[in-house]
Homo-oligomer: A and B are copies of this chain.
Amino acid sequence: MDVPMNGKMHQVLLDREPQGSPVTDDFRLREAELPEPADGQVLCETLFLSLDPYMRSQIAGRHLSGTIAPGDVMRGETVSRVLQSKHSDVAVGTLVRCFGGWQTHSVHSASEVHPLPPEFPAPSLALSTLGMPGLTAWAGLHCLAQPRAGETVVIPAATGGVGAVAGQLAKAKGCRVIGIAGSDEKCRQATETLGYDLCLNRKSGDLDAALSEACPEGIDVFFDLVGGEILTLCSSKLAVGARVLLCGLMADYNSKERPAGPPPGFWIRSRATVYGLVVYDYEHRRDEFLGQAIDLYNQGKLKAWEDTSDGIDSAPDAFARLMRGENRGKAVVKVA
């Protein structure tokens, strides 16, 4: 919890643009001078770093939050502790959310760090179930799709950061929740740990037929996190009045192109309402989300679901695993 005596920090940079799915050698670890906070700034020590699929999109230059080029420090949200403060509003020792990036220390203006509420159950949750992935799931379901009890909700990437929360929130609303995941192991976790009614392995058997069987009345809400073929397949099976949340394009992040979407006729036929969802738009409702989510967490209806790796130097490998779909839960790096 002290400022490092040697005045050094560690950073992970993008070393070269990945070809397709990223590998650890696309990144590089560097030692750098610890920055000095200026007036109005704080120096933070990174405790936990969030790894997210959108980072692949930043590297590809296709994300609305900006581009990461070779030589840049990788960006990302962190839970950090204030080590030095040159702003009267932020006390040393405060736990904050900020975009500290893939590094052990970071400097921010006081307005860029967001203290965790005092009742917060555990710091890393601010990056997972009770953080951005949770807020995304809540915004999609609570603010947009608004599934009703008894409706059928389908969630691909069922055990990923957003999917795991979306599945539990939909279940808490009394929906029938069908997951899609990439292995039998993930499917087991989805039903046994996360409460899905059923989870289909997209890599085994005939997903088309299995989905039809699982959703005989059609899909009422499809919380898309993947794009690609699964979005098209699920769009072909919507019930009349369906809602589709477009929220992530996991299937496309590793590609150079913007792949085409489902035939619009599927959405006309089902009179679907399709929402483009960007979680940043819901920042002003984070407290409302947290109030509901912490309640569910305390009741045991919303479980933590994290895949934690250890040390800032583990970030490249953990990110590569995430982009290969090998994570088990929201990918988080324990940095300090």
Contact = CB atoms under 8 A, between A and B. Distances in A.
Contact of A281 (B232, B271, B278): B271
Contact of A264 (B64, B246, B278): B246
Interface in A209-265: 224, 227, 231-232, 246-247, 249, 252, 258-265
A277 interface: yes
A264 B62 contact: no
Contact of A247 (B62, B64, B261, B268): B268
A24 B278 CA distance: 50
A135 to B, nearest CB: 15
Q: Which of A231, A246, A264 has the most CB of B within 10 A?
A: A264
Given A276-B272, A278-B268, A261 B258 contact: no
A269 B265 contact: no
Contacts of A227: 264-265
30 contacts: A62-B265, A64-B269, A224-B264, A227-B264, A227-B265, A231-B264, A232-B260, A246-B264, A246-B268, A249-B265, A249-B268, A258-B263, A258-B266, A259-B263, A260-B261, A260-B262, A260-B263, A261-B261, A264-B276, A267-B274, A269-B278, A271-B276, A271-B277, A271-B278, A271-B281, A272-B274, A272-B275, A272-B276, A273-B273, A273-B275
A317 to B, nearest CB: 27
B276 A249 contact: no
A136 to B, nearest CB: 12
B271 A274 contact: no
B281 A276 contact: no
Contacts of A247: 268
Nearest to A232: B260
Contacts of A263: 252, 258-261
A49 B215 CA distance: 40
A51 B304 CA distance: 58
A260 B328 CA distance: 32
Contacts of A261: 260-264
Contact of A270 (B224, B252, B260, B276): B276
